[in-house]
Amino acid sequence: MSLLEAIILGIIQGLTEFLPVSSSGHLELGKAILGIEATSDVTFTVVVHGATVLSTLVVFRDDILELIRGALQFRWNASTDYIAKLVIAAIPVVIVGLFFKEEIETLFSNNVLLVGSMLIVTGSLLAFTYYAPSSGEEVTRTKAFLIGVAQAIAVLPGISRSGSTIAVGLLLGVDKKKVARFSFLMVLIPIIGANAKDILDGGMAESTVSALPLALGFLTAFVSGVLACKWMIAIVTRGKLIHFAYYCFIVGTLSIGAHFAL
């Protein structure tokens, strides 16, 4: 992997992990456009995902510390209840990752038609939030599970994880700021778990990427991730997701058109 490719992939990962446009979908489009095959390298994938985890920890450090302090009281309270909801939300994607990993991996092969189609699905979800009830409700355990189902579906390239989880939360009547916070915190469990599994499976030992591209990919993913995370919170609070719906419709349509034109 060249240094430029590492920088491009890092920026794409950092921005699109939090913006509702699908990081996996854009990485697939990036491979198709630039001819980059290195995203299949497990080490690079683990590194850039680790960078987005770190960006989440930085942006939500106060919230995370509050949850940890509450959990260390070793009694049921608001913090342990919230952590339980995060665990409930992780159940669907854990099941998908454990039992359908190989089937999912076959979808990540420059499948521009699938990405384009799923981007249109993402755009439709984001468009529906324009009509979402603004009842300002809390994230209940049932709603946490339903948001978790949306996260599991988002393993498909082109379905945005942040977009689908936030959209489902808004459609369920959850307060805008609360659903954004829950969406970004809930990603920590599956990403850390998936990265740990990749490391334990020995995939990183087969890396073909040298240290400098890995470092640049990590740095660019982290910086762009911090910026995108903060930006996304402000966007959700202001209810501006409809603009990303237009973007997904346009890119999805162009992707489908490119598939049939080539």
Amino acid 38: pLDDT? 45
pTM, whole model, 2 decimals?
0.85
pLDDT at 167: 92
Residue ranges making up the domain that contains 73: 3-261
- pLDDT at position 170, please? 92
Do the Cβ atoms of 160 and 139 come closer than 8 Å?
no
Q: Mind listing the pLDDT tens digit for each residue in 192-211?
A: 877 777 667 665 555 667 78
What confidence score (pLDDT) does residue 15 get? Answer: 86
pLDDT, tens digit only, all 262 positions of the chain? 778 888 888 888 888 888 888 777 777 777 767 676 544 556 777 788 889 889 999 999 999 999 999 999 989 999 999 999 999 999 999 898 888 777 776 766 667 888 889 999 999 999 988 887 777 789 999 999 999 999 999 888 889 888 899 999 999 999 988 999 999 999 888 888 777 776 676 655 556 677 888 899 899 999 999 999 999 888 888 877 888 899 999 989 998 998 787 6
In total, how many domains does the chain have?
Answer: 1
Q: What is the pLDDT of residue 100?
A: 78
- How many Å apart are CA 250 and CA 262, to the nearest integer? 18
